[in-house]
Amino acid sequence: MSESGLGRVETQLVVLFDGDDELVLESGARLTHVEVAYETYGTLDADGANAVYVCHALTGDAHAAGHHGDPARRGWWDNLIGPGRPLDTDRFFVVCANVLGGCRGTTGPASPDPATGEPYGLRFPQLAVGDLVQVHRALVRRLGIGRLLGAIGGSLGGMQVLQWALDHPGELAGGLVVAASARLSPQNIAFSAVAREAIMRDPDFAGGDYYGNARRPDHGLALARMIGHITYLSEESMRARFGRRIQDAAAPRRGFEVDFEVESYLRYQGESFVERFDANTYLYLTRAMDYFDPFGDAVATARKLAAMDTRFLVLSFDSDWRFSTEHAREIVRALEGGRVAVSFRELSAPHGHDSFLMPVPEYHRTVAGFLERLAVEAAVAPLVAGGG
């Protein structure tokens, strides 16, 4: 693996829907202007056959690898993307975009509504995972890519990969679904519901119209992040990292302020999160995850699976209790029931749900091996088609 990774990269902006070319959402609502922030790494082959699309998770963005000027501050999946890494940018053309509804350059609740010039707020239409995919597909077409060699994503990113392959057969040669679910459990929905309540009950939420106000719902958003972050870690990783150590003192202060290291860590996570994320985006994307149920209609699912030609790799981590291995097995069983080519591995890692973001050697080898197989099959396919 390359130690240095990618160098300086830039986030680009493109308008994908505008004027008469509206984006029609699954709800029937229409967006008349959709701008997308994205980054690319590597070089697209002349035949456009080496492209891999990265779908980010709930709090991710387009900046997946490299840096924007400070080599110490790198993209959220930098350990996976770059020269010699599993998503080898010497071989693959890697694309990552901020999702629809996002707050890092792509049109979302904080964007101006063309009809009023004011931020949408909660007037932004409700989103489904399929809507995120539609925007990804438009970006792929704009970049001159036909069939993707693969798409990969963890958590919400994995949901996007699964939806893409189901709804648009022929567009993905391979799908890598990591630490994801095809249907949130009641417990998962409950965690997200409490996080949303924390945001909406913040006195500064202002019904979602806090843009331009002196105060934003930062307290609620920070609390939502703290709640969510607990579910991303495992008890093992928290014990190893924090134990019951006291923060900045020789003995417990025995008050209600921050005393334990884990409390300080969660407060830091919350405070830093509000500097880069929008509360309304958190509401919209968690709600899209709640309703995600791509296998819910048995008749439609059977038809989609019969048409699918994507080869899948589904991965889970043994310490992930947010989207446990049983969630992954449910995806595998559904795909196998439709005779879809799918491989599955449960990997050992101590980091909980966040394991998909970590440089776990066996995880990286598994991803690299799957992409290698896809590349070999893609190279062989033209020969077979041509009778060579």
- Structure-derived torsion over alpha carbons of residues 316, 321, 326, 330, reported in degrees to the nearest 10: -80
Q: Quick check: is 316 catalytic?
A: no
pLDDT at 2: 45
The one catalytic residue among 63, 168, 219, 353? 353
Distance CA 205, CA 283 (A): 12
Q: Encode pLDDT of 174-216 as tens digits.
A: 999 999 999 999 999 999 999 999 999 999 999 999 999 999 9
The one catalytic residue among 61, 78, 111, 155? 155
Confidence of residue 378 (pLDDT cuts 50, 70, 90): confident
pLDDT at 348: 98
Q: Quick check: is 353 catalytic?
A: yes
Three-state DSSP state, 15: strand
Average pLDDT score, the chain = 95
Q: Greater confidence, 255 or 129?
A: 129
Question: What's the full length of the chain, in residues?
Answer: 388
pLDDT at 382: 57
The one catalytic residue among 78, 202, 320, 354? 320
Q: How many CA atoms lie within 13 A of 205 on its CB side?
A: 20
DSSP letters for 192-235: HHHHHHHHHTSTT-GGG--TTSS--SHHHHHHHHHHHHHHHS-H
CB 66 within 8 A of CB 78: yes
CB 350 within 8 A of CB 318: no
Q: Is 186 exposed, middle or buried (0-12, 13-18, 19+ CB in 10 A)?
A: exposed
The residue among 119, 76, 83 whose CA lies nearest residue 7 is: 83
Distance CA 244, CA 246 (A): 7
Q: Is the pLDDT of residue 388 over 70?
A: no
pLDDT at 254: 86
The residue among 135, 75, 74 whose CA lies nearest residue 99 is: 135
Distance CA 104, CA 167 (A): 26
Distance CA 305, CA 383 (A): 26
Q: Is the pLDDT of residue 247 over 90?
A: no
CA distance from start to end of the chain: 35
Q: Encode pLDDT of 106-162 as tens digits.
A: 999 999 999 999 999 999 999 999 999 999 999 999 999 999 999 999 999 999 999
Question: Rg of the Cα trace of the chain?
Answer: 21
H-run or E-run covering 347: strand 342-347
Distance CA 310, CA 316 (A): 19
**What own/partner pairs with CB < 8 Å and gap ≥ 24 does 208-212 have?**
208/109, 208/121, 208/122, 208/280, 208/283, 209/119, 209/121, 209/122, 210/121, 210/279, 211/110, 211/118, 211/119, 211/121, 212/119
Give 30's DSSP letter.
Answer: E
Report how far apart, in Å, the C-alpha atoms of 223 and of each of 157, 272, 279 are.
23, 12, 11
Q: Encode pLDDT of 305-349 as tens digits.
A: 999 999 999 999 999 999 999 999 999 999 999 999 999 999 999
Q: Is the pLDDT of residue 238 over 70?
A: yes
Q: Dihedrals φ, ψ of 351, to 5°? A: -90, 5
> What domains are there in the chain, each with its CATH number?
12-184+286-385 (3.40.50.1820), 189-278 (1.10.1740.110)
The residue among 371, 318, 321, 324 whose CA lies nearest residue 343 is: 371
pLDDT at 19: 86
Q: Quick check: is 155 catalytic?
A: yes
